Amino acid sequence: MDTLLIATHNTGKVREFEEMLAQLGITLKSAADFDLPEPEETGTTFTDNALLKAKAGCEATGLPTLADDSGFCVTSLMGRPGIYSARWAETEAGRDFNAAMVRVNEELGEAEDRSAYFVAVLALVYPDGREEIFEGRIDGLAVWPPRGNKGFGYDPMFVPSGYNMTFGEMESAEKHKISHRALAVQQFVGYLKAKAA
């Protein structure tokens, strides 16, 4: 594999992938390089959504394509917001993750079990139709009130197991060592290295 399409318009994600995949000597292209439309996330699982984004990118460009889908899952809420994590933040005025965190906390109410986790799924699709899935997950607790302003999304209300700080209080380098996304990318890198060996 010489060239890989990262099927996202999110420049932050593209940069993260560039950093994490730099060691592999693969040329990375992004959805913006091809002016690709963003497919609607109509799947019912993280894997469905990652796959539909990767397939759309691969069909449009003919390149092996990697796409991701991720979210915040709360055990007592039966895994919600899950694939709807971004949608819970949608308001008429734009995305508001404070409002989304308030909703999570309100729905939790007096629940004793405040365990929660982040999931990231990466889907790799080849032009010949082959598919590979890589998944990362980090467990922890949904805390209240939110703390820290370093991360994004639900970071301020998530304390990973074995830590006292929320993701919102952690330096990004620290978070990127243990995050769901980092774990999924590590698996992907391991797969590529094994293939090249």
CA dist., res. 96 & res. 87, Å (int): 10
From the list 30, 154, 157, 159, which residue makes contact with ligand IMP (rule: CB under 6 A)? 154
**Looking up tokens 């308030």, which residue turns up?**
102
Instruction: Give me the least distance between CB of 106 and ligand IMP, in Å please.
Output: 17
| Cβ proximity to ligand IMP, 27 vs 149, nearer residue | 149
CA dist., res. 59 & res. 126, Å (int): 9
Pairing of strands 3-6, 115-125: unpaired
Q: Is 134 in the site for ligand IMP (CB under 6 A)?
A: no
Q: Is 86 in the site for ligand IMP (CB under 6 A)?
A: yes
From the list 21, 70, 117, 166, which residue makes contact with ligand IMP (rule: CB under 6 A)? 70
Token duo for residue 99: 């409002």
How many H-runs (helices) and E-runs (strands) does the chain carry? Answer: 5, 8
The residue sitting closest to ligand IMP, measured at its beta carbon, is 153
CA dist., res. 119 & res. 80, Å (int): 12
Q: Is 152 in the site for ligand IMP (CB under 6 A)?
A: yes
Binding site for ligand IMP (CB under 6 A): 68-72, 85-86, 118, 151-155, 167, 179
Catalytically active residues, by annotation: 69
